[in-house]
Protein backbone atom coordinates (compact mmCIF):
# COMPACT_ATOMS: atom_id res chain seq x y z
CA UNK A 1 0.00 0.00 0.00
CA UNK A 2 1.51 3.38 -0.97
CA UNK A 3 2.02 6.04 1.68
CA UNK A 4 0.75 8.86 -0.55
CA UNK A 5 -2.40 9.26 -2.59
CA UNK A 6 -2.81 11.21 -5.80
CA UNK A 7 -6.13 12.83 -6.65
CA UNK A 8 -6.56 14.19 -10.19
CA UNK A 9 -9.12 16.57 -11.64
CA UNK A 10 -9.48 19.70 -13.80
CA UNK A 11 -10.11 23.18 -12.46
CA UNK A 12 -13.78 24.01 -12.86
CA UNK A 13 -14.91 27.45 -13.98
CA UNK A 14 -16.83 27.97 -10.73
CA UNK A 15 -13.54 27.69 -8.79
CA UNK A 16 -12.01 30.73 -10.50
CA UNK A 17 -12.27 34.48 -10.19
CA UNK A 18 -12.75 37.02 -12.98
CA UNK A 19 -9.15 36.52 -14.10
CA UNK A 20 -9.63 32.72 -14.45
CA UNK A 21 -7.34 32.19 -11.43
CA UNK A 22 -8.44 29.71 -8.76
CA UNK A 23 -9.85 31.42 -5.68
CA UNK A 24 -7.56 30.72 -2.72
CA UNK A 25 -10.13 28.93 -0.51
CA UNK A 26 -10.59 26.21 -3.13
CA UNK A 27 -7.14 24.85 -2.34
CA UNK A 28 -8.46 23.89 1.12
CA UNK A 29 -11.40 22.15 -0.54
CA UNK A 30 -8.94 20.27 -2.77
CA UNK A 31 -7.01 19.20 0.33
CA UNK A 32 -10.22 17.75 1.74
CA UNK A 33 -10.82 15.82 -1.47
CA UNK A 34 -7.25 14.49 -1.30
CA UNK A 35 -7.63 13.53 2.36
CA UNK A 36 -10.89 11.70 1.65
CA UNK A 37 -9.23 9.78 -1.20
CA UNK A 38 -6.25 8.98 1.04
CA UNK A 39 -8.53 7.42 3.66
CA UNK A 40 -10.40 5.46 0.99
CA UNK A 41 -7.05 4.20 -0.32
CA UNK A 42 -6.32 2.90 3.20
CA UNK A 43 -9.64 1.07 3.27
CA UNK A 44 -12.08 3.34 5.10
CA UNK A 45 -14.06 6.53 4.69
CA UNK A 46 -15.11 9.31 7.01
CA UNK A 47 -18.75 8.19 6.97
CA UNK A 48 -17.80 4.82 8.48
CA UNK A 49 -15.71 6.45 11.19
CA UNK A 50 -18.53 8.87 12.00
CA UNK A 51 -20.97 5.94 12.29
CA UNK A 52 -18.51 4.53 14.82
CA UNK A 53 -18.82 7.76 16.82
CA UNK A 54 -15.54 9.47 15.89
CA UNK A 55 -15.01 12.66 13.93
CA UNK A 56 -11.71 14.14 12.74
CA UNK A 57 -12.15 17.85 13.38
CA UNK A 58 -9.81 20.30 11.64
CA UNK A 59 -7.96 22.31 14.29
CA UNK A 60 -5.39 23.91 12.01
CA UNK A 61 -5.04 24.44 8.26
CA UNK A 62 -2.24 26.08 6.33
CA UNK A 63 -1.56 26.65 2.67
CA UNK A 64 1.42 28.28 0.99
CA UNK A 65 0.55 29.47 -2.50
CA UNK A 66 3.43 29.26 -4.96
CA UNK A 67 1.86 29.70 -8.40
CA UNK A 68 -1.67 30.21 -9.70
CA UNK A 69 -3.93 27.47 -10.99
CA UNK A 70 -6.22 28.52 -13.80
CA UNK A 71 -9.46 27.41 -15.37
CA UNK A 72 -9.22 23.95 -17.01
CA UNK A 73 -5.71 23.20 -15.66
CA UNK A 74 -5.13 19.54 -14.86
CA UNK A 75 -4.43 19.32 -11.11
CA UNK A 76 -2.84 16.67 -8.91
CA UNK A 77 -3.25 16.76 -5.15
CA UNK A 78 -0.71 14.52 -3.45
CA UNK A 79 -1.78 13.66 0.10
CA UNK A 80 0.42 12.08 2.73
CA UNK A 81 0.25 11.31 6.43
CA UNK A 82 2.76 13.54 8.25
CA UNK A 83 2.04 12.79 11.91
CA UNK A 84 -0.13 10.42 13.89
CA UNK A 85 -0.90 9.70 17.51
CA UNK A 86 -3.99 8.36 19.26
CA UNK A 87 -5.84 11.69 19.15
CA UNK A 88 -4.21 13.80 16.44
CA UNK A 89 -3.63 13.26 12.73
CA UNK A 90 -1.65 15.63 10.48
CA UNK A 91 -1.92 15.40 6.71
CA UNK A 92 0.41 17.11 4.25
CA UNK A 93 -0.44 18.15 0.71
CA UNK A 94 1.34 19.12 -2.46
CA UNK A 95 -0.83 20.56 -5.21
CA UNK A 96 0.69 20.70 -8.67
CA UNK A 97 -0.13 21.26 -12.30
CA UNK A 98 -0.36 17.78 -13.82
CA UNK A 99 0.87 18.92 -17.24
CA UNK A 100 3.90 20.98 -16.18
CA UNK A 101 4.70 19.38 -12.83
CA UNK A 102 4.95 22.86 -11.26
CA UNK A 103 4.03 22.95 -7.59
CA UNK A 104 1.16 25.39 -7.12
CA UNK A 105 0.66 25.10 -3.36
CA UNK A 106 1.77 23.15 -0.31
CA UNK A 107 -0.18 22.77 2.87
CA UNK A 108 -1.20 20.77 5.89
CA UNK A 109 -4.19 20.11 8.10
CA UNK A 110 -4.20 19.01 11.73
CA UNK A 111 -7.16 17.02 13.03
CA UNK A 112 -8.23 15.98 16.50
CA UNK A 113 -10.51 13.00 17.02
CA UNK A 114 -13.69 13.83 18.92
CA UNK A 115 -16.83 11.96 19.86
CA UNK A 116 -20.46 12.95 19.43
CA UNK A 117 -20.08 15.07 22.58
CA UNK A 118 -17.30 17.05 20.82
CA UNK A 119 -14.80 15.96 23.49
CA UNK A 120 -11.40 14.59 22.43
CA UNK A 121 -11.15 10.83 22.15
CA UNK A 122 -8.84 8.29 20.60
CA UNK A 123 -9.13 7.41 16.94
CA UNK A 124 -11.06 4.10 16.93
CA UNK A 125 -8.70 1.14 16.74
CA UNK A 126 -9.46 -0.16 13.22
CA UNK A 127 -8.87 3.29 11.69
CA UNK A 128 -5.85 3.96 13.85
CA UNK A 129 -4.36 0.64 12.70
CA UNK A 130 -4.82 1.56 9.03
CA UNK A 131 -3.30 5.01 9.58
CA UNK A 132 -0.41 3.51 11.58
CA UNK A 133 0.37 1.10 8.76
CA UNK A 134 0.52 4.01 6.31
CA UNK A 135 2.74 6.00 8.69
CA UNK A 136 5.16 3.06 8.98
CA UNK A 137 5.35 2.72 5.21
CA UNK A 138 6.05 6.43 4.88
CA UNK A 139 9.02 6.01 7.20
CA UNK A 140 10.51 3.10 5.26
Pairing of strands 55-65, 88-97: unpaired
Residues assigned a catalytic role: 17
Under DSSP, is residue 101 helix (H, G, I), strand (E, B) or coil? coil
Radius of gyration of the chain (CA): 16
Question: Considering only CA atoms, which of 43, 32, 51, 53 is closest in space to residue 133?
Answer: 43
Question: Considering only CA atoms, which of 69, 42, 57, 66 is closest in space to residue 127?
Answer: 42
Amino acid sequence: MPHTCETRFRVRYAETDQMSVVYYANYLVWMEVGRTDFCKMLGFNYKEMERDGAFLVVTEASCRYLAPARYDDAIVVETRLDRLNRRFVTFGYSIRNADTGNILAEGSTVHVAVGLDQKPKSVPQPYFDMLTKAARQAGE
